[in-house]
Amino acid sequence: MSHASPGAALLLALISGLVLAGIFSARRGRELYIRRIPGISAMEEAVGRATEMGRPIFFCAGLYGLKIETLQALAIASYLVRLSARYGTRMIVPVYDAAVFPIAREMLREAYQAEGHPELYNPNDVSYLSDRQFAYASACVGLMNREKVTTCFYFGGYYGESLILSEAGRQLGAVQVAGTPEVTQLPFFVASCDYTIMGEEFYATTAYLTREPVLLGSLVGQDRAKMVLLALVLLGSLLSLLLGANNPFSALFPGTG
């Protein structure tokens, strides 16, 4: 069984403290600014295009199962469902993991209800397809072709099927926006999608879209935590250069030298 080293535990506490401080400061009403991210701004346009064309929107929440990446993807889906419900546009959410399925279904139902259009909710729009990677990918491609989707969103964690999904969408001529923290799949999305939300921007998406103080404050806390990490990287590099690999700083983080 693995436990945190003293350095890792301290760092975890520091990052958590900075994020919480950001959240509480934003809750007290402090004005916060976030830079414009083109991919996120394009999401509303993409929903608008589907509305104009009268075709459904396709949203894929990734293949990570019930993990933090999928929950973030579902939070983004929740916003997009509200937006599409406002315009009366259907959103199809095929699910990879059975544990995610009831959460996605409730999320979709509540989003339609919150927008005052419970009649637009169709339980069949959230479907569990398969928990096998390529079976899921081929089922998604079939769904995209049958429904002739014009807008595709890919958020969450992906593996090798990312290119299969996004190239299928591209062949249909759909507007595609992707966002994943999975660094190895980013090049595929960049090559196939119109907009790609990269790495940490993925976690900033809900803050940018909803402008909720808790999320904005958390984002500011994250930026401060990254500055601390950068300072630690520089300090570690400097100490390694001056004192060698076995310095007191590296002893705090065993196994990283």
Partner 1 sequence: MSFLLQPRHGSQLALALGLSVLLFVAFCLALLRLPPRVRRLVASGSSFLAGLFYVAEYVIPWNTTMTDLKPDVANIAAVVAALALLLGVTNLCRVNLQPLIHRRPGAFYSVVFFLGFAATLVTGVWSFHVPGNRQAGYLYQTILFESVFRSLGGTVFSLLAFYLVSAAYRAFRVRSAEATLMMVTACLVLLGQASLVTAWIPRDSAFYFLKVDWLQDWIMTVWNMAAQRAMVFGVAVGAIAMSLRLWLSLERGRFFEQEL
Site pattern 183..202 for partner 1 (x: CB under 8 A): x---xx-xxx-----xxx-x
231 forms part of the interface with partner 1 (CB under 8 A): no
DSSP letters along 22-48, please?
A: HHHHHHTT--------HHHHHHHHHHH
Judged by CB under 8 A, does residue 235 bind partner 1?
Answer: no
Dist CA 253 CA 7 (whole Å): 5
Single out the segment in contact with partner 1 by CB under 8 A; choices: 35-43, 48-56, 216-224, 234-242: 216-224
Q: Which of 21, 71, 239, 252 binds partner 1 (CB under 8 A)?
A: 71
For residue 206, give both structure tokens. 């809900």
Restricting to residues 238-257, name those near partner 1 by CB under 8 A.
none
Q: Closest separation between CB of residue 114 and partner 1, Å?
A: 7
Give the range of 34-42, 43-51, 221-229, 235-243 binding partner 1 by CB under 8 A: 221-229
Pick 51 or 58: Cβ nearer partner 1: 58
Does the protein bind partner 1 through residue 176 (CB under 8 A)?
A: no
Which residues in the 148-167 window bind partner 1 by CB under 8 A?
160, 163-164, 167
Whether residue 217 contacts residue 20, with contact meaning beta carbons closer than 8 Å, is answered with: no
Residues 3-22 contacting partner 1, CB under 8 A? 3-6, 9, 12, 15-16, 19-20
Query: Tell me, what DSSP letter sits at residue 131?
Result: S
Name the minimum Å distance from CB 222 to partner 1. Answer: 5
Q: Rounded distance, CA 116 to CA 43, Å?
A: 22
Q: Closest separation between CB of residue 149 and partner 1, Å?
A: 17
Told to check if 54 binds partner 1 by CB under 8 A, we report no
CA angle at residue 253 from 247 to 232, to 5 degrees? 75
Taking the least distance from each CB to partner 1, the nearer of 51 and 120 is 120
Q: Does 39 bind partner 1 (CB under 8 A)?
A: no
The candidate with the shortest Cα–Cα distance to 177, out of 147, 149, 143, 154, is: 154
Contacts with partner 1 by CB under 8 A: the residue count is 71
Query: What is the spatial distance between Cα 63 and Cα 44, in angstroms, rounded to a whole number?
Result: 24
Chain positions 81 to 140 lying near partner 1, rule: CB under 8 A, are: 95, 98-99, 101-103, 106-107, 110, 113-114, 124, 127-129, 131-135, 137-138
Which one of 38, 226, 234, 251 is in contact with partner 1 (CB under 8 A)?
A: 226
From residue 202, give the alpha-carbon distance in Å to each of 39, 74, 114: 10, 12, 24
**CA distances from residue 226 to 14, 19, 210, 230, 256 in whole angstroms, order as listed:** 11, 11, 23, 6, 19
How would you label 22-39 residue by residue, b for 16+ Cβ within 10 Å and e otherwise? bbebbeeeeeeeeeebeb
